[in-house]
Amino acid sequence: MKKTTVINSDLSRVISQMGHFDTLAIGDAGMPVPKGTEKIDLAVTKGLPSFIDVLTNVLSELAVQRIYLAEEMKVQNPHQLTAVKALLPDVEIVFIPHDQMKADLSQAHAFVRTGEMTPYSNIILESGVTF
């Protein structure tokens, strides 16, 4: 049995296949996922698992050099923005319009759907390197 923290087999596979500058998205239950983008659906019920719980889990295994967040998060979900910044204090944040984020999901290796039910709880993680 796997000893590290990401035990979901699909999520672990996607993380292990990522290279420098590749992207992985994590988001709320309502985010539309483009056809052709793999969706790893972890949602169980409202709020389970939370966006922050899944992000924390992914960050335990993925080197991240940059993140993309929706501009709208600043006003519509500042609590979530504070939580993201706490998890990634030294990582560059690029704010983009939510519509651009939805379009950019087509380039992501996968989208991880959570049970999160708060607005704009979505992030695109850009993979860094470990050396």
Residues making up the annotated binding site for substrate are: 28, 98, 120-122
Catalytic positions, please?
20
The predicted-structure confidence for 62-109, as pLDDT tens digits, reads as follows 999 999 999 999 999 999 999 999 999 999 999 999 999 999 999 999
pLDDT of residue 98: 98
Residue range 9-127, CATH number: 3.40.1650.10
Residue given tokens 């590290």 in the structure block: 4
The full length of the chain comes to 131
Domain ranges of the chain: 9-127
CB-based burial, 108-119: b 16+ in 10 Å, e otherwise: bbbbbbbbbbbb
The whole-chain average pLDDT of the chain stands at 97
Positive or negative CA dihedral for 35, 39, 43, 48? negative
Residues making up the annotated binding site are: 28, 98, 120-122
The predicted-structure confidence for 51-72, as pLDDT tens digits, reads as follows 999 999 999 999 999 999 999 9
**Entry pTM:** 0.96
